[in-house]
Amino acid sequence: MLSALNSAQREAVTAPDGPILVVAGAGSGKTRVLTTRIAWLLEQGVHPGEILAYTFTNKAAREMKERVARQVGAQRAPFWIGTFHATGVRILRSHADRLDLPRDFAIYDADDQKRLLKGVLQDLKLDSKQWGIPASRVAISAWKNQDVGPEQALREASMYVDEVHAKIYTAYQQALRKCQAVDFDDLILETVHLLEQHDEVRQQYAGKFRHVLVDEFQDTNELQLLLIKLLSCIHGNVFTVGDDDQSIYGWRGARVENMLEFDEYFPGARTFRLEQNYRSKGHILDAANHVIAHNRHRKGKNLWTDQGLGEQVTVEQHLDAEDEAARVVEIVQQHRRGDVTVLYRTNAQSRLLEDALRRARIPHQVVGSVQFYERREIRDLLAYLKLVANPADEVSLQRIINQPKRKIGQTTVGRLIQCSRTHDLPVGDLVARPDLLATALGNAAARRVVGFLNRLADWRRDAADRKPVHELLQRIVADIDYETFLHQDEPDTAAGRMENVAELVSSAQAFHEGSDGGTLGQFLEQTALVADQDTIQDGDGAVRLMTVHTAKGLEFPVTIVTGCEDELLPHVTSSDTEAGVEEERRLFYVAVTRARERLYLLHASRRRRFGSYEDTLPSRFLGELPEDAIERRELDHGWQEPVARSLFGGPRKARAPRDLYSASSQAKRHRKDDWNADVAQSAQHYEGQLVSHASFGAGTVVRVEGDEVTVDFGEHGRKHILTRYAHLTPLD
């Protein structure tokens, strides 16, 4: 077990009891240390139930469990391994009686939060233009992460803005509890309160967990630190692993100080350092080391490897984001698809990349926000289930009471909720009081509402009878005739959306089979807490696309970082403070250190923003790379400065300084030829030209933009075609 470790790792793993901080550089075997530590503890006679380990994602938790099980046997694997949030839910549910919450409280995500806040702002008669929902959300979350309640926030508000936000916070918290719901921050905050306020509960957990282990410690916030301290207050065995250079969640309250000042929070702590990197080839590591050395606020470490230099890091400039995407396709084709991962700073960048990959028919998976659980149809159906599970959930009710249309509009819903408030009854339970509804809504509207609530009552009976979640879901879909609704709503996308519905049903079925008859509440909890990373489908041979944030903790043989431009990476909104730029630099460092064998850093000279092109500069981080480790290529696209641009005052910004690009002439010539070939091909088409396409038949060219040609195929509609991939034959 220990023989596979180097001496530094072994020392950390076998460290005696007490607080321990392992400063583990990127790729230095952090996960291995953590899992081996657990296995080692078990071997020392620690009981599996005495170990609590925090991971950053559920996927990481699952993998850690599996690895430990492999070392010590499945029956001896610890069962308290999970994220702060998932673990919080588990603790809160079993002590719901001590809280002001029912056992099956709902968990509100960002979207639910926004909808709830919208109502709160209306109730407070605040102008939603002046008092934005995002700003309130940020303020509330910041308070919660510092363990500041609404009263305290109000008391301490020194400025008018704070005062209003504190009032919003107060009303928001009331509304949330009225819906018998908690938000993500509450999952930690309420757990902390539970442990603080109930001695016997604290004794129970702190007594049980002899060892508390924390992964990605650099990204924990004040509240999480507090929680760790509470849980370890009896035994004091805290084993944390982190890398201050990879702290990238400062914007949501993460404090690197938890790590840098570890000794203050856990007196007598011992520190271990892991600096040998087992992941990346020499040139890649060299590049990473050079860049991160530009940060002033860091403890400082130097990763090394004995793996050899490998290939140089490729840095390429492209004309625009479309060209960059085309190049991504090309790079992918030069490697094994499943080995390649494409990274970007913002989710919005994924669209173009996805389009290019789709046109080239390259299997790919976009990991992250635009995916499954964010889709409208999925959210709608989940809202039905949430309302079934929790009849007080006003946000879900508002979402679906008129979806599909039941002639129940905003006014009626407003009165309905008012009615539930005055009589202090959950909205769903008003079904038992048609008399109240009739007075509050009038007869006609009341009849429609009762009709809906009756249906809801049927589903609730099903759920109470422990009907499997997927069967319940299928019944709901049938009862509301969802398929017809989708077709009427948006005929073009109905089929695709119905596929998503089917996927949701099968995931519910998988849950039912996998959880040995899990409840509806458990299913919803699981869907609420999925992290982006949890959705990665391993081993399917597809290219993966994700944000740099999502890629944290992962590694890929071939990594392509796109959009390495100033104002994007580093992002504009973080560029004006030193702390901001340093966090962006850490983000860039995380991106670079994901790569094992091969790293490409791409940037474009111009990029569309809100529809129109804006000129860009290469990221300042590219200028911080060591020349020996990189190969810079400037690609000649045969591109000329558009006349219009110079007429209107020229480019907003200067072009990239030439001397950044002293590429080897061989490589340059090679690339140039490729590119010119593409450009030459696209020049064959012009507006009004008659062309033929392999699957769409004959059509007329409507627009030519580079090699992207828009063609009207009559009954097949207008299509955007990249001539690089789909050939168009001229008919004239």
Partner DNA sequence: TTTGGGGAGGTTTTT
Partner DNA sequence: CCTCCCCAAA
The residues of the shown chain that bind DNA, judged by CB under 7 A, are: 56-57, 83-86, 109-110, 118, 128-129, 134, 184-185, 248, 251-252, 345-348, 368-369, 402, 405-412, 445, 529, 531-533, 547, 549-550, 571, 573-574, 580, 609-611
Least distance to DNA, CB of residue 234, Å:
26
3-class DSSP assignment, residue 322: helix
Nearer to DNA, 286 or 584 (CB): 584
**To which residue do tokens 């970007």 refer?**
344
Least distance to DNA, CB of residue 317, Å:
22
Nearer to DNA, 110 or 233 (CB): 110
Number of other residues whose CB lies within 10 A of the CB of residue 426: 17
What is the C-alpha to C-alpha distance for residues 64 and 43, in angstroms, rounded to an integer? 17
What is the C-alpha to C-alpha distance for residues 224 and 210, in angstroms, rounded to an integer? 18
Tell me, what DSSP letter sits at residue 637? Answer: -
β pairing state of 313-320 and 630-634: parallel
Q: Determine if residue 154 is left, alpha or beta; phi over 0 gives left, psi from -120 to 50 gives alpha, anything else beta.
A: alpha
Strand locations in 475-629, DSSP E?
A: 543-547, 556-561, 595-609, 612-615
Specify the amino acid at residue 542. A
With a CB cutoff of 8 Å and minimum separation 6, the contacts of 277 are: 25, 26, 27, 28, 285, 303, 304, 305
Catalytic site positions: 30-31, 215-216, 246, 594
**Sequential DSSP letters for 571-602:** BGGGTTSHHHHHHHHHHHHHHHTTEEEEEEEE
β pairing state of 556-561 and 340-344: parallel
Least distance to DNA, CB of residue 409, Å:
3
- Selection from 90, 183, 96, 104 nearest residue 389 by Cα: 104
What is the C-alpha to C-alpha distance for residues 318 and 604, in angstroms, rounded to an integer? 4
Nearer to DNA, 543 or 629 (CB): 543
Nearer to DNA, 585 or 632 (CB): 585
Nearer to DNA, 213 or 274 (CB): 213
Nearer to DNA, 567 or 634 (CB): 567
Least distance to DNA, CB of residue 153, Å:
19
Which tokens hold the place of 71? 């070392």
Least distance to DNA, CB of residue 572, Å:
8
Nearer to DNA, 170 or 550 (CB): 550
Least distance to DNA, CB of residue 168, Å:
16
Q: C-alpha distances in angstroms, 595 versus 24, 233, 288, 330, 423?
A: 17, 39, 10, 18, 60
Least distance to DNA, CB of residue 228, Å:
16
Under 8 Å between Cβ of 265 and 225: yes
Nearer to DNA, 284 or 319 (CB): 319
**Sequential DSSP letters for 305-319:** -SS---SPEEEEEEE
Tell me, what DSSP letter sits at residue 723? Answer: T
Least distance to DNA, CB of residue 611, Å:
3
What is the C-alpha to C-alpha distance for residues 252 and 469, in angstroms, rounded to an integer? 34
